[in-house]
């Protein structure tokens, strides 16, 4: 069965602009049948999202986005898992997320960027601090003119990525944890992955061996050629197609608006 869905969104539980409840309202207004909140390494917003979604008549998929250490920007989306089963592992990773803000802050200080960590914490409003919170504060202080400039100059450079190495689980562990919790796993935004020694097809074949279920074929800034490539890879490796906006809010990613992709989701919802 075909559903209108967005399976990749972020709330204030990680680095999104809107609370899970606010995001559910926006998803309903966008015309979705199915919506997933997929906060970074965080399940804190799921209960609020599900409760609000039920009240709105929206089918909510419990989700999460996990960062893997294999390559830069290799992220695994988990869906429809048992939160009770996955939560102990996620909670164990939270200290790592908390420590990360100090690594980012120290890195920026080494580049001459002087901002208050307290202001960054306030920007996160109780959620897990991530790069978007630093970027918003940096924009506010005029450290750079655009979001892209901040990431190109500071927060997504090869030097920055060196401070991240060894701090995340492997893609294999991410997938196996999701599967052990009864969930499904999809490879997020394939175009963003900075490969080193493997082709994308080789990576997908390897992830399939770990239990990967799907590829995020539909994404706001995939080109037509990229979408066609990912659809062919999902066909070749007998995977499913997911689609998501990677919505964080207009302040963070104005070119990633909520989507309503037409997806076959019986494999996920059944």
What DSSP letter does each residue of 69-100 carry, written as one string? SSSBT-EEEEES--HHHHHHHHHHHHHHHHHH
Q: How confident is the model at residue 96 (pLDDT cuts 50, 70, 90)?
A: low
Mean pLDDT, to the nearest integer, of 57-74? 94
pLDDT at 254: 79
Contacts of 49 (CB under 8 A, 6+ apart): 11, 20, 21, 23, 24, 37, 60, 62
pLDDT at 70: 92
Residue-wise pLDDT for 223-241, tens only, equals: 999 999 999 999 999 999 9
Residue-wise pLDDT for 180-225, tens only, equals: 999 999 999 999 998 988 999 999 999 999 999 999 999 999 999 9
For the chain, domains (ranges, CATH) are 2-91+173-269 (3.20.20.140), 92-162 (1.10.150)
Q: How confident is the model at residue 97 (pLDDT cuts 50, 70, 90)?
A: low
pLDDT at 172: 98
pLDDT at 95: 64
Indicate the average pLDDT of the chain. 93
The closest alpha carbon to 212, from 32, 26, 74, belongs to 74
Q: Calculate the alpha carbon distances from 267 to 19, 118, 163, 241 in Å.
A: 28, 44, 38, 10
């Amino acid at each position: 069965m075909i559903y209108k869905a967005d399976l990749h969104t972020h709330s204030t539980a990680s680095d999104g602009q809107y609370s899970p409840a606010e995001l559910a309202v926006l998803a309903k207004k966008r015309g979705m049948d199915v919506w997933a909140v997929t906060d970074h390494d965080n399940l804190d917003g799921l209960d609020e999202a599900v409760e609000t979604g039920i009240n709105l008549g929206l089918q909510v998929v419990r989700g999460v986005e996990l960062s893997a250490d294999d390559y830069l920007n290799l992220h695994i989306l988990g869906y429809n898992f048992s939160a009770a089963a996955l939560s102990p592992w996620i909670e164990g990773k939270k200290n790592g997320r908390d420590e990360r803000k100090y690594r980012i802050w120290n890195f920026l200080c080494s580049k001459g960027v002087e901002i208050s960590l307290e202001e960054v914490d306030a920007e996160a409003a109780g959620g897990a601090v991530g790069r978007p919170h630093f970027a918003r504060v940096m924009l506010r202080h005029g450290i750079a003119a655009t979001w892209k400039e901040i990431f190109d100059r500071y927060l997504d450079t090869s030097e920055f990525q060196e401070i991240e190495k060894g701090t995340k689980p492997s893609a294999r562990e991410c997938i196996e944890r999701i599967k052990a919790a009864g969930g499904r796993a999809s490879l997020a935004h394939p175009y963003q992955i900075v490969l080193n020694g493997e082709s994308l097809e080789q990576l997908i074949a390897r992830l399939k061996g770990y239990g990967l279920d799907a590829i995020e074929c539909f994404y706001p800034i995939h080109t037509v050629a990229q979408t066609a490539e990912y659809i062919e890879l999902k066909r070749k490796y007998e995977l499913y197609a997911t689609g998501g906006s990677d919505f964080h809010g207009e302040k963070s990613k104005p070119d990633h608006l909520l989507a309503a992709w037409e997806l076959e989701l019986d494999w996920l919802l059944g």
